[in-house]
Structure 1
Amino acid sequence: MTEQGKIKWGLIGASNIAKQWLAGSINKHPACDVVSVYSRDEKRASDYARELKLQSYHTSLESLLADPDVNAVYISTTNDKHREEAIAAAEAGKHILCEKPLTLSAADAEAMVEAARKAGVVLATNHHLRNMATHRAIKDIIKSGELGEITSARIGFTVDLPGDLARWRLNDPSTGAGVVLDLTVHDVDLLRYYFDADPVAVTAMGLTSGRAPHGIKDNVMSIWEFPGRLLVVCQDTFLVPFGGTAVEIHGTKGSVHGADVLWQKPQGRITVRTQAGTRDVPVDHVVPYDKTIDDFVDAVRGRGKPSADGIDGLKSLRFALAATQAMDTGRTVRF
């Protein structure tokens, strides 16, 4: 039973993110072990299992989910497969950590949430930015009142997509390619985390570069309104190799600036500017996925909730899809 013994994980998808980040964070937790992987490609599955020193591999989802040694799964396949895999995992009694976006439609995300609820298993969304030490520090500063009334914010998720991540994200519309479901969905979750509120409106514009066929948007600007007449500008692009990433939160008494605080590496600098002057905020950087797994284990044990649960994943997807609607129609979408 996962309530007492070790939580043994199966990886659904032999992905780079699982290999580079999640498997390490899972194995680092004293109550967890990664034991198996599923990929339809037998060579990829066997090579992956050998490299990660896993006890088994599977070439069918049904086989992995029937494995009695697996009681939790991490889903990192392409977005179009998440719904089927998560619902099957829930029906097999496995706890689920799923990559963002949960899936490609709000209706499918609702079905995933309901399947997990019905099966009595944990469903978590891998919105890792909530667990970056930098963003936790920024939220603490916002909540302290030092900045006064928050009036505006900016997010710059400006990156050059690495080749190993660009394949389907720039080429396959059926998987939810483009920056909105890859980056803007993270922005929305981070803003909800900062402000403990949901946006009330969004407008957006997007363009397609020569790198992205099929009209896939790889350069998007969105403007979000939050309660309290708070406006946020988000720039999300795969076309900026040297811009870095940044967050700015502005209030009537001060501002907080975060530099190099998006993406995955535990890094970044926080600066606060007020009438008293400018100061740097010390940050003890940690791998964000470590806390993701800590909170997931607590949720499985019945003593807490995931860092971002299925409802959080559903909401971030729903708002990101609204940004796409605003972009496609040229109209502001109000919630």
Structure 2
Amino acid sequence: MTNMKEIKWGMIGCGNVTEKKSGPAFSKVPHSSLVAVMGRSAEKAADYAQRHGVPKWYTSVDDLINDPEVNAVYIATPPDVHLEYATKAMKAGKAVYVEKPMARNAAECEAMNQVSRETGVPLFVAYYRRTLPYFVKLKELIDQKIIGDIRLVTVQIHYNPYSEEIGENAQPRWRVDPAVSGGGHFHDLASHQFDFLEYVLGPIKSAQGMARNQAGLYEADDIVVANFEFESGVLGTGSWCYTLNKEQRLDEAQLIGSKGKITFSFFERFIIKVEAVDAIGEYLIPYPEHVQQPLINTIVQELRGEGKCPSTGETGARANSIMDLIAKDE
């Protein structure tokens, strides 16, 4: 499936992530268009289609997948149905682009990849930081060895999603229901971090950690600490705490090398700070309007036989494998 002329996307799910991050991008990439959307609520699916200029809408996954015009499927749902929907789409001969995390655990990821291998249908995962200009620049600085040989990676994410985003008395959402998401906010956010770190530093060969629920606000873990080691010998450490007040909010990562360090943010800030023997400075690189558009462009190019997408089912499964190792002590 690498000689398609026009990529006609069908989208399963029309939640918040599709409003700006992904949905509009499908029709802004050359030789690509969003032709159908599916939602469980007919009212919401119809409203999304009307607002975004999508010609068709469905309330049935099977109807969307079997639409003869659709030749690629974007799965924008919680992780608990990724395996089921991806399997259906690939067996129907439709290329699949699935949201992250790829599934609830590594076993489900491997099952998805097995279907891709058996059918020959490509599978891609929405780890879009691999193509965002901010992270492309970060990779460039690493490859240039501007801070020398990297010795240590530190990752910190500290905040409270409920008090800051949806109110103190809000009910927990699907992201902290392990039966749906596979874990908690760690699984949602750390998946992006581990995917990108492996992309720029190579495979992580071992990882261990502790995952606990300290505040009792929901079933999933709300604090995780971890140590990990790359095959290159680089060591890493991380902490993820989701029950702190807004004054303690922190999203910071550091790459510490033999000649200096790079400080950056995985999610919130657009500044890369370099402090090295031969270079001191900052790079301000805001995200594009639709953050998934650069990655979607590479998917379309691969399906047309014109390039390669850097985020596949095989690479996407790695983040789940690492998180499984860290959270298994839970």
TM-score, normalising length: structure 2: 0.89
Query: Does the Cα contact within 8 Å between 2:15 and 2:76 map onto a contact in 1?
Result: yes
Runs (5+) with no aligned partner, structure 2? none
Query: Does the Cα contact within 8 Å between 2:12 and 2:76 map onto a contact in 1?
Result: yes
- Tell which deviates more after alignment, 26-35 or 175-184: 175-184
Q: 2:312 aligns with which of 293, 309, 314?
A: 309
Alignment of 1:234 with 2:227, yes or no, is no
Query: Does the Cα contact within 8 Å between 2:193 and 2:266 map onto a contact in 1?
Result: no
Taking the aligned partners of 1:165 and 1:39, their CA distance within structure 2 comes to 22
Deviations 1:123-172 (A, max 9, x none): 11101222232222222111112212211011223344333995111245
Taking the aligned partners of 1:18 and 1:209, their CA distance within structure 2 comes to 32
Q: How far is the alpha carbon of 1:318 from its aligned partner? A: 1.1
Equivalenced residue count is 321
Q: How far is the alpha carbon of 1:45 from its aligned partner? A: 1.9
Q: Give the 5 Å matches for 1:231-270.
A: 231-240=235-244, 241=246, 243-258=249-264, 261-263=265-267, 268-270=270-272
Q: Secondary structure at the match of 2:156?
A: strand
1:274 aligned partner: 276
Query: Does the Cα contact within 8 Å between 2:13 and 2:37 map onto a contact in 1?
Result: yes
Amino acid at match of 1:238: Y
Q: 1:189 aligns with which of 195, 200, 211?
A: 195
Taking the aligned partners of 1:198 and 1:165, their CA distance within structure 2 comes to 37
1:59 aligned partner: 59
Q: Give the 5 Å matches for 1:3-42.
A: 3-42=3-42
Q: CA distance change for structure 1 residues 299 and 157 in 2, over 3 Å: closer, same or farther?
A: farther
Query: Does the Cα contact within 8 Å between 1:2 and 1:71 map onto a contact in 2?
Result: no
Deviations 1:246-296 (A, max 9, x none): 2210011111111xx323x7x511111122462223547434312111110
Runs (5+) with no aligned partner, structure 1? 329-335
Q: How far is the alpha carbon of 1:56 from its aligned partner? A: 1.3
Query: Does the Cα contact within 8 Å between 2:97 and 2:126 map onto a contact in 1?
Result: yes
Taking the aligned partners of 1:32 and 1:134, their CA distance within structure 2 comes to 24
Deviations 1:47-77 (A, max 9, x none): 2222222211111111111111211111111
Deviations 1:146-200 (A, max 9, x none): 21221101122334433399511124534324023211222211110120x2112
TM-score, normalising length: structure 1: 0.88
Q: CA RMSD in A?
A: 2.3
Q: CA distance change for structure 1 residues 105 and 176 in 2, over 3 Å: closer, same or farther?
A: closer
Q: Secondary structure at the match of 2:173?
A: helix
Query: Does the Cα contact within 8 Å between 1:179 and 1:237 map onto a contact in 2?
Result: no
Amino acid at match of 2:100: K
Alignment of 1:217 with 2:221, yes or no, is yes
Taking the aligned partners of 2:276 and 2:147, their CA distance within structure 1 comes to 8
Deviations 1:16-51 (A, max 9, x none): 101221112112112111111112222222222222
Q: CA distance change for structure 1 residues 295 and 158 in 2, over 3 Å: closer, same or farther?
A: farther
Identity of aligned residues (%): 26
